[in-house]
Structures are given as structure tokens and as C-alpha cells.
Amino acid sequence: MLIQPKKMVPPDGGWGWIAVIGVAIVNFCTRSIEPSFGLLFGDLLKELGVGTTGAALIMSTLDALINFSGLLVGPLIRAFSYRKVSLVGACLCGLGLILTFPARSMAHILVTYSIINGLGVGLTASATFVALNHYFVKRRGQAVGFSLAGTAFGMLLMPQAVRLLLEAYSFRGAILVLGGVALHSLIGSALLQPAEWHLVPERKNLEEGNRQKEMETIKEVEDEDAESPESAQTQKLIGVNTIPDFSKCLGDYRRKEGGFPRNFSTMSFITRGKTVSDAVNYSNLSNMDFTGSSLQLHLESTEKPGPKLQISEGVRLRRNMSYPAVELNSHLKIMQDFQHEPLRFEPRKKETLWTKIVNFMDLDLLKDPIYLNLVFGLSIFYVAEQNFKMVTPFFFDSIGYNKTNTALFLSVQAITDILARLILPPICDRVNVRKRTLFMVGIFLVGISRSVLAEQTDYTKILLWLVVCGFVRGAALINFTITISEYSTLEKLPAAFGLHMVGKGLFVVALGPLLGYIRDATQSYPICLHSQTFLIMLCCLAWSIEYIICWFKTRTKDASSDTT
């Protein structure tokens, strides 16, 4: 009886749901303040005389540190664990916000809020995402969607909380309270226990007959054809008869009467009655060994040329793979007459420092054009998303709405965002469509709805389109990070996600201030919002081109295979 060790797999539940709660707490405490940046820092930036370009520079630096921390995530998680990395990131988040309260210059805000806080947010975001992917496989979409609901729930409450804190304590007191809130992410990080503690045995439905067993060969009666002495000796050694000749496909087969069908799981087929030329020594596979279990070598006699020899007169070697310890004949010594070249092993090339860095950080991913296009699209959308969150409060202020109305607008958008993150993930997991395709459809709708919102000034219409914007945004973001885990293996996931974050950081640094400059140069927030939509459509265009190229390649391969 064979005892096969059970394969341990992620639980897809169990403590994984506790980990989801922990990630939601981390997201709530560290990420929910970002959409309220304009509301929180608006008065301070006006005092410092910093316009939209300055605000864009602060947010771009924050995003750059969040994303460039991806270079550290892979090595840190390998050296320590995702829980420890998340704990360190939570401490940096709280420290960065607390140290911002005495800020009286833009440089101070950049160092404390953008750099220290941004590094902490980046470490926690990456570590929590990797943790969820270790806990879930089939329900990964639901887990990520529910965990991101913590961010959306924070976006619902944080605008109102920031408004109340500003009224009660002004900016400096409010930022201290928010720093204390950020430190509560330590609780969520502590819940991210190693997934190895909670692995479960893999469940399989084993059916009878799955395993192939060696079957005994039934001895045939009335075997008219005589075997060679070597074959007879072989049969005596292993106690079985030979396999009937299957050379019918070659036109030389005579069916025996009264015989049983033979099993050919342990012996190779023997070609009988065939003549060969003795001009050249050769070895080949006899006929077709469908089982792959044995190899028969035909070696011609080294005697003087004469009449053509029958195969039965030649020297035959048969090696039975099912019985490797049995010596089947006495002619194995003939193989020693052949000259064998000694095996040559190429010396192992010494790895350079750059090669070690590439292997350690899995930089070979940068050779994959599909991965690069994936990162390009995600980075372009991320720039547009971050700029929208920063500009929206200023946009509402420019068309005559006060802080109370702005806080209400942001909360309404967050409500529908939460609904989308709670309702859609179970549906998306059951739909047989790639997460990347669902994400592309979602961001396409996001771009259109935001461009429509940019042209609204009426209170009711703004609320209506914010409801639409919030829902399609939630529908898109539930698949944002899953597009990486869907494409990458679990072993390369930390590196793939880290490089993806670095790509986002590069695009934020390059394009973030550009969008702020467009707003300042045109003195128009609607144009700035339309520029964000343009970036989103670039993502859709790049991915659509890739889909078309892959479709043509698949079609060409199918056509060539059909022709063959």
C-alpha cells in the first residue's frame, strides 16, 4: 500500500478572514487620509503661498516613496516576514504624521509627510497584499475586495473627521490625532500570522483506477513461432512469454488463433521476419514501443559479408525498465567494445555582482514585455487616480462649495465605492473572465464618468455623478492589485509587486507635477480632470493593442497546427 504525503495548501478561509480584518484595519488607518489631503492641508498651503503645483509636488513625492519602497519589499519579506515588515511600516506611518504637526515650510512637509509617512505606507501596502495572497487562492478576489473596503470605509468617515478636527484643533492638533490613528495599524499588522501556521491538506476526489499498476502477462498457448535462444533464456529468467508481433502496421503480421490478448506494459515489441543490411552497424528502437518501458537494440553480426541475416540470427539486447536488476542476456559485454567519449562538464561560470542582484531581486521580470505593458497601464491609471483625489476638493472649492459640502461629496462617493467593493468581488470570482479585462472595463467607465463630472456645477447633478464615479471606481480597484497576482507566480509575487510599485513611482514623479502644471497654466480644473481621463484611456489603448497582438499570434498558431 502506497502512502502519499498530503499536499498542504492555503486555507482559503479560516484565519485568512482574520488576516483580511487585519489588512482592512491597516488600510483604514494608513490610506484613508489621502483623499482628504486637500481638505487637511488646504489652509496651511495657502499660508505658505503654495499653489496646485506645490500640492502636486507633495503628493507626487508621497506616492514616489510609497512606490519606490517596492524595491525593498521583496528582499525584506524574504529576510524577515510580511508581518514584521507591516509592523515597521505602521510605525513609520504614525511617526511621519506626528512629526508633521510643527511644519512651517514645504520642505518640512516633504520630509515628514511625504518621505517618512510615504515609506511606511508603501511597506504596509506591499506586505499586507503579499500576506493575503499567501492565505487565499480561489477566494483571492473576495479577500482583496473586503480588505480594500477598509480604505473605502476610511474615505467615508475621514472627510467628516478631518472637518471636525480642523474646527476643534486646527491643522496642528488634527495632524497629531491622525498620527495616533495611524499607529492603530499596529493592531492589524499583528494579526498577519505566517500562513504556514494555518495551511490545510489539499482536498482531492480520488477515483479508482487512477494509478497504473504492473499487470502479469498471460502466457499464450499454441505459440507457433520459435524464439531465439536468447529470448528463451530471457523468458526463463523473468517467467513471462513474449509479446505478440505488432508489425501488422508494416504489412507482415499473421494473427494467431486461440490466443489471449497480450499485455505490453513490461516488454518491447519484437520484429520478426525482417531482413536488414549488414553494411553498417546500427541500433534503433524496434517498431514502436508505445509503453516506453523497454529498449531493444539490434546489432549486426561482425562476420564476413554474406547473405542477409534475419533479425532472429543477430545479436539482440533487451533492457527491461520494469526489472532493471535482472540481466536478460550475456551479450551486454558487446557494449564495452564501443568507444565512449568521456563526459565533459563545462566549468560553472562565476556569478558577477550584477547577476546576483538580478537573481536576488528577480529583475528578469523586466525582460517580459507583457509584464512591462501591465505595469505601464497600472502606473498610468495610478497617476490619474492619485491626482483626482488631490484635485477634487480644490475643484469643489473653485465652483463655490464650502468644506461642509466638500466633505459630504467625498463621503457620498466613498459610500458607493464601499458598496462596489462588498458586492462585486464574489461575482467577479465566479465570472470566467480575466481580472485584467474586468479592470480595463472598469477604468474605461471611470474615465468617462469623471469627465462628465468635470462639467457639472449643479448640486444634485454633482451628487448623482459622484455616486456613479464612486461605484465604478470601486469596481475597478478591486481588481487593481489582483492583475499582478493573476499574472505572477506566488514565488515571484513580492518582486513582481515591488517592481510594479517602482513603476508607479516613476510615473508619478514624471507625470504628477505635469498634471498640476496643466491646471496652473490653464487655470481650469475641468481641463485637469480631462487630462486624467486621457491617461486612463492610454492604459486601455495599450492593453487593447496587446490583446489584439496576442489574439493574432494565437490564431496563427492554431492555423499552422490545423495545417500540420
pLDDT tens per residue, range 386-426:
889 888 888 998 888 888 888 888 888 888 888 888 888 88
Question: Side chain identity at 340, as an amino acid letter?
Answer: H
Per-residue pLDDT tens over the stretch 504-549:
878 877 887 788 788 888 888 899 999 999 999 999 999 999 999 9
- Name the burial class of residue 274, with classes exposed (0-12), middle (13-18) and buried (19+) by CB atoms within 10 angstroms of its CB: middle
Secondary structure (3-state) at 8: strand
- Percent over 90 (pLDDT), the chain: 22
What percent of the chain lies above the pLDDT cut of 70? 71
Asked whether the predicted pLDDT for residue 116 surpasses 60, the reply is yes
Q: State which H helix or E strand residue 298 sits in.
A: strand 294-299
- Is the pLDDT assigned to residue 92 strictly greater than 60? yes
Residues 314/298, Cβ–Cβ less than 8 Å: yes
Q: In the predicted model, is pLDDT for residue 4 greater than 70?
A: no
In whole numbers, what is the pLDDT of the chain averaged over residues? Answer: 74
- For residue 378, what pLDDT band results from cuts at 50, 70 and 90? very high
Query: What average pLDDT does the segment 214-221 reach?
Result: 40
User: Quick check: 441 pLDDT over 50?
Assistant: yes
pTM over 0.75? The answer is no
Give 99's pLDDT tier (boundaries 50, 70, 90): very high
Assign 52 a pLDDT band (cuts: 50, 70, 90): low
Mind listing the pLDDT tens digit for each residue in 331-355?
555 455 555 555 565 666 677 777 7
Q: Is 477 or 233 the better-scoring residue by pLDDT?
A: 477
Instruction: Look at residue 305 and tell me whether its pLDDT is greater than 70.
Output: no
- N-term to C-term CA, the chain: 45
CA distances (Å), origin 329, targets 19, 106, 169, 239, 317: 65, 89, 97, 14, 7
pLDDT band at 249 (very low <50, low <70, confident <90, very high): very low
From the DSSP assignment, how many helices (H) and strands (E) are in the chain? 18, 6
- Condensed to tens digits (0 to 9), the pLDDT of residues 153-173 reads 777 788 888 888 988 988 889
Q: Give the least confident one: 126-130, 176-180, 316-320.
A: 316-320
Q: What is the pLDDT of residues 258-275, one digit of tens each?
A: 444 444 443 444 444 444
How sure is the predictor about 135, in pLDDT bands with cuts at 50, 70 and 90? confident
Give the rounded distance of the alpha carbon of 155 from its chain centre: 28
pLDDT above 50 (res 320): no
9 or 169, greater pLDDT: 169
> Which residues fall within 8 angstroms of residue 101, CB to CB, at 6 or more apart?
171, 172, 173, 175, 176, 179
CB 509 within 8 A of CB 496: no
**Residue 564 binned pLDDT confidence (cut-offs 50, 70, 90):** low
Answer CATH for 8-201+368-546 from 3.40.980.10, 2.70.98.10, 1.20.1250.20, 3.40.50.300: 1.20.1250.20
Whether 277 has a pLDDT exceeding 90, the answer reads: no
pLDDT exceeds cutoff 90 at 467: yes
Q: List, by residue range, all CATH 1.20.1250.20 domains of the chain.
A: 8-201+368-546
DSSP string, 37-57: HHHHHHHHHHHTT--HHHHHH
Question: Can you say whether residue 12 is alpha, beta or left, with left for phi > 0 and alpha for psi between -120 and 50 degrees?
Answer: left
Range from 125-134, 212-221, 385-394, 535-544 carrying the lowest mean pLDDT: 212-221
Dump pLDDT digits (tens) for 14-29. 888 999 999 989 988 9
